Structure 1
Amino acid sequence: MQYIMTFVWAFILVHMINFVLMSLGGGQDLNLVTASIMSVVFAVLALIITALIPDDPIPTHHHH
């Protein structure tokens, strides 16, 4: 479920960014294929980064 939601959120966020940037750009058309490809790339990079970050708690040294 984590992977599916990562792709859903990446799809939504990249398409929102694409819409805003194309609206600000003026005469450019909205390209949904490029945004979809970029959302897949963004989701894969997010999943790779989360796999590389360790989940172990940081040990604390107590000095008495």
Structure 2
Amino acid sequence: MTFVWSFVLVTMLNYVVSSINDVPFDFALGAIVSVVLSILVFIVSAILPTESTPDYDA
């Protein structure tokens, strides 16, 4: 699902920005950027700890 959401959001952003800048829409660029974004999300989620912080009684 990470790739699906990344693909949808990056493609939408690519379309809107290309329309605003009056340049042709490049589908391949959006697909490549969405793959890179998905990989970065997976790397960040692997680096961040999943354990919760301990509760300290004051």
Which TM-score tier does this pair reach, normalised by the shorter chain? Answer: over 0.9
Aligned-pair identity in percent equals 36
TM-score normalised by structure 1 residue count: 0.86
Unaligned runs of 5+ in 2: none
Counterpart position of 2:26: 31
Q: Which amino acid aligns with 2:57?
A: H
TM-score normalised by structure 2 residue count: 0.94
Residue 56 of structure 2 corresponds to residue 50 of structure 1: no
Unaligned runs of 5+ in 1: none
Residue 2 of structure 2 corresponds to residue 6 of structure 1: yes
Q: Determine the C-alpha separation between the residues in 2 that align with 1:45 and 1:36.
A: 14
Q: Deviations over 1:6-29 (max 9, x none)?
A: 111110010010011001001x10
Aligned length: 58
Counterpart position of 2:57: 62
Could you say what the CA RMSD is over the residues aligned between the two structures, in angstroms?
Answer: 0.7
Q: Which runs of 4+ in 1 moved over 4 A?
A: none
